[in-house]
Structure 1
Amino acid sequence: MASGTEVAEEQVKLVIGLTGGIATGKSTVLEMFRTLGAFVLSADEVARELLQPGTQVYLSFVESFGKEYLRSDGQVDRAALARRIYLDPNARRRLDSLTHPAILKRLREQIEALRASGEKRPIVVEIPLLYEVNAQDMVDRVVVVASEHATQFARLKRRTGWPDDQVEAAILSQMPLFQKIALADWVVWSNGSLEETAQQVREIWKEITEAAEEDRQ
């Protein structure tokens, strides 16, 4: 029978943080990791859950921002809110103070539940502002999804339809990509085709699974 220490060691899973800049392809890369066999978590999905009507975070949001950013069905108008926070640093800080503690708490709970379960797959957790909110302690290693500025700009422009100055302001509102790259264990460059991106992800996944196997030995 395994001792308590041995059981604890068997239950430890490798947790990979996935981050990058706005419109660099983080969600696409997360899905690629899911397809390869990772157990994936997403800060954005948690944020959507926490901002559902009736939750404490939702009520605090309405109290702080009013009903200006609510749709007719009561749901948060995420597109309108995104435009506001990228142009208004004070609004962004207010939103961050309302949501980030709850998001990180929920992600920590999810990670700990998986660590304590029989799940053997490495965990990949997408946290867009991983470095900005100093959440590196939640993960063992980090993958940064990056692209050249022109590609990032074009993607965000296409996705939002915002004027050029607002697109640029949104990009500049986050930690510069070169700083994230310098801190990363792996970098996925998403400038090329989906297959080129997928090939990089497959290579990184091979290294992740090898590292996870070493941790279990």
Structure 2
Amino acid sequence: MRIIGVTGGVGSGKSAVLNYLEEHFDSRVVKADEVGHMLMMPGRECYEPVISLFGEWVVKDDTSLDRSAIASIVFDNPEMLKKLDDIVHPEVKKYILREIERSKKEETEFFFIEAALLLEEKYDEICDEIWYIYCEKEVRMERLRRDRGYSDEKIRKLMENQLPDEVFEERCDFQLYNDEDVAHTYLQIERKMRTYYESV
């Protein structure tokens, strides 16, 4: 089984790429962000530690955590963000490592890990290679405005907190250009995936 990490700036369209891979190849896709949300659910590994960090007021009436309230706290507070990351990220990685082993037993051909902080959290150490999804900054900004309703200020802050393109380009094995032309994106994926089958 080939383990491939997928990363890229916010709004670069990673989900569209991963959806295509999941639909057209024998692959398992795990998104670190979704795993983090799951592990913060009642009864899961991060639930009680997060309450201890922020206080009972972040618990909603249905006992789930108010993630929007938590996000508003950490957005402008790097110290609290680090404390939250120190709770969630190690548990996410443990979960993903377990899922890798499970997928190996199921003889899945490809295992894709998607994470915004893929390099920062050292996922490259457990991946066979890293893909970088690249998209022009202006296109990313327009996507975030249109699809997520983000303000320019929020977009600017999110982009400032991510590694510069040069770091991704230097440390990633494959760069996929994901502009507005989805046919071009899919063609690049097909060409890349074909190289794996040709090398067997």
State the TM-score, normalizing by the size of structure 2.
Answer: 0.88
**Deviation sequence 1:169-206 (CA, Å, 0-9, x none):** 11111112331122111112212222222222222221
Letter in 1 for 2:50: F
**Deviation sequence 1:69-107 (CA, Å, 0-9, x none):** 444433334444444433322222111101000000111
In structure 2, the residue matched to 1:10 is: none
Q: Structure 1 residue aligned with 2:4, among 16, 38, 41?
A: 16
Provide the C-alpha distance between the structure 2 equivalents of 1:181 and 1:22, rounded to a whole number of angstroms: 16
User: Structure 1 residue 118: deviation in Å?
Assistant: 4.2
In structure 1, the residue matched to 2:39 is: 50
Instruction: Indicate conservation of the 8 Å contact 2:42/2:63, yes or no.
Output: yes
User: Structure 1 residue 156: deviation in Å?
Assistant: 2.1
Provide the C-alpha distance between the structure 2 equivalents of 1:83 and 1:151, rounded to a whole number of angstroms: 25
In structure 2, the residue matched to 1:101 is: 90
CA RMSD in angstroms, aligned pairs only: 2.0
Q: Which stretch shifts more, 40-49 or 154-163? A: 154-163
| Aligned ranges 1:34-73 → 2 under 5 Å | 34-37=22-25, 38-73=27-62
Counterparts in 2 of 1:130 and 1:176: CA distance versus 1, 3 Å: same
Q: Does 1:195 align with 2:183?
A: yes
In structure 1, the residue matched to 2:151 is: 163
In structure 2, the residue matched to 1:7 is: none
Q: Percent identity?
A: 26
Q: Structure 2 residue aligned with 1:178, among 132, 145, 166?
A: 166
Instruction: Indicate conservation of the 8 Å contact 2:5/2:127, yes or no.
Output: yes
Provide the C-alpha distance between the structure 2 equivalents of 1:83 and 1:148, rounded to a whole number of angstroms: 27
* Number of matched pairs: 199
Q: Could you list the runs of 5+ residues in structure 1 that have no partner in the other structure?
A: 1-12
Q: Could you list the runs of 5+ residues in structure 2 that have no partner in the other structure?
A: none
Instruction: Indicate conservation of the 8 Å contact 1:39/1:122, yes or no.
Output: yes
Counterparts in 2 of 1:187 and 1:69: CA distance versus 1, 3 Å: farther
Counterparts in 2 of 1:73 and 1:193: CA distance versus 1, 3 Å: farther
Larger Rg: 1 or 2? 1
In structure 1, the residue matched to 2:80 is: 91
User: Structure 1 residue 33: deviation in Å?
Assistant: 0.8
User: Structure 1 residue 136: deviation in Å?
Assistant: 0.9
Instruction: Indicate conservation of the 8 Å contact 2:28/2:103, yes or no.
Output: no
Provide the C-alpha distance between the structure 1 equivalents of 2:169 and 2:141, rounded to a whole number of angstroms: 18
